[in-house]
Structure 1
Amino acid sequence: MDVSLNVWALTIVGLCALIAVDFFIGGRKPHAVSIKEAGVWTIVWVALAALFGLGLFVFGGGQASGEFFAGYITEKSLSVDNLFVFVLIMAKFAVPPIYQQRVLMVGVLIALVLRAVFIGAGAAIIANFSWVFYLFGAFLIWTAWKLIQDARSGEEDEEFEENRLLKAVERRVPSTSVYHGTKLFITENGKRLMTPMLVVMLAIGTTDVLFALDSIPAIFGLTQDPYIVFTANAFALMGLRQLYFLIGGLLKKLVHLSYGLSIILGFIGVKLVLHALHESGVSVPEISIPVSLGVICAVLIVTTITSLRASKKQAEAEAADRKDSLGV
């Protein structure tokens, strides 16, 4: 898809305008986000992504639109995994509920900027070295296998471990452990101090880079168009804040999510390897975008249904055990 510099500029300006509207309507005044508010904004962001995809269909054709929706759904599903870590970060830094949405908003913006850098680098590498598809494919297949192994062993991160960048900032910049509203810096006794608000924003934004290591190669496995890769990531990330408040309580019920994500990553990894072989002149079948979109949607639907059923059975079993222990 041939995208001019003007279209890129208009897209970035449009995304910035949407972010500004989101901030001034729902995020400017610190408050605890209700399920209703999170639900409404989630619907708004999904609808905006759908409209953008339809716009691509009108102006770019079915191929571009299909690649966008496949990429968006993949990035959205992978971003749910981010939410588990965001919950740990909020708990570690004891972020008051009224400030959590501000933290997520700025943290997601930091993540979006960092991902844009990743996408630019990835597009440049792919344009010059087609063999990188083998590396991307192998990495996704390995990541899928590791996800399955972790899920089977029952390993879960119960504590958030700060990355090196965050540790370096905390060592070098004087800080305070007390929140002062939404202020990022305060002055105490003539000394400028960094507040926990800035620290946790950096934690959200920089931690997302770790997730980008598998999500960026995954979407490049669906499309090599930098414009589609960027916009799919942007729409997936910008609705992440509302999704955090909407399904925060349901995260623990998605017990099969790791299996679903591993299947998706493994599938895209195989798709990348087949594409690399095809580019090398080997006669192999390639997986089309409609097939990719169908597989991704089917895996997510099945994973969600089986997760909720398993969680319900576990809750019923625990309730029965409590009754037995009480002699009821």
Structure 2
Amino acid sequence: MTSNLTGRPAEIAIDFGTANLRMIHRDDGVIFDEPSLCCLAGLRDQPRFVAAGAPVFAMTDRTPTGMRVRRPLRRGVLQDIGAATHLLRYAASQVINRRSFRSPRVMIGLPADVTQAERNAMLTAARDAALNPVCFVPEPLAAAIGANLKINAPQGTLIVECGAGTTEVALLSLGGVCLTRSLRGGGAELDAAIIDYLHSRHKLLVGRSSAERIKYAIGEACTRGGAAGTIEVKGRSLVSGLPAAIRIAPIEFADVIERHAQHIVDLILELLAQTPPELSKDIHGQGILLTGGGAATPALREKIEAGTGLRVAIAEDSGLCVARGLFSLLQGGVSAN
């Protein structure tokens, strides 16, 4: 399921996620890993580049008039080619200055159900950033490789790639994608649900970065068995209009997380209903693997196990599975169809 445009081997792979952009070198592994953010100023039809990547994270929701922070991808889809080009150009400038090549051949990970228009948009952004795309790889396939699954074996493997912008359920066999279903809305949708809950229940307005921190704090509290404790949430009171801080028990977000997890369970059930019987037998034997940064979402594994009756495992360093898989493909240590 890899798509090669030139037949020439790639030198660098790009894992362009909604939350983070990673560049992986054929010899050195991950050489760039920063947030997928770009700060622009000036008129919208003639934007001026200000910054990209890690320096922009602290700017989110703090920019003055005339300056704005952009996420090139939304729900796993490239929405802003200009911002994507600036971000890719910034990333390349951090890496290529230390390399001998000027316009590297790149392999790009994309969702398995990407449309031709979405693929063309990514091609345009990469080429405008002076990169030379030569190969596309379905992200669930790269994630499976990065999780050390035997993708070329004649057996079915079910993987759920839980990204920030999209959740993909993919059935793999013989080095390719047999079936796939996607939910355009991953961890970022859970962040939005947390924001909405705090807005409606506690009349507290928080930004996206704060919601993301709350999500991780909930996960850490549940992991430590501290669901009965509280976490501090800061924002702006919608009652007084003043800065405010409240303490909330992680268990209070249970319904929010439950609804998010149920959407993923429904997606898995939809794919399982279309799975051929021999592949279903394989899945029954080995279960489901969760990859991606959202794989550790509190109670997600338990919810999927309860909803499907299948064993569910979370890959080690699940957020880096796609990057590790792309690295293996660059090195030629594994092949994919």
Taking structure 2 as the reference length, the TM-score comes to 0.29
Which of 1 and 2 has higher RCO (CA within 8 Å, sep 6+)?
1
Richer in strand (by share)? 2
Richer in helix (by share)? 1
Taking structure 1 as the reference length, the TM-score comes to 0.30
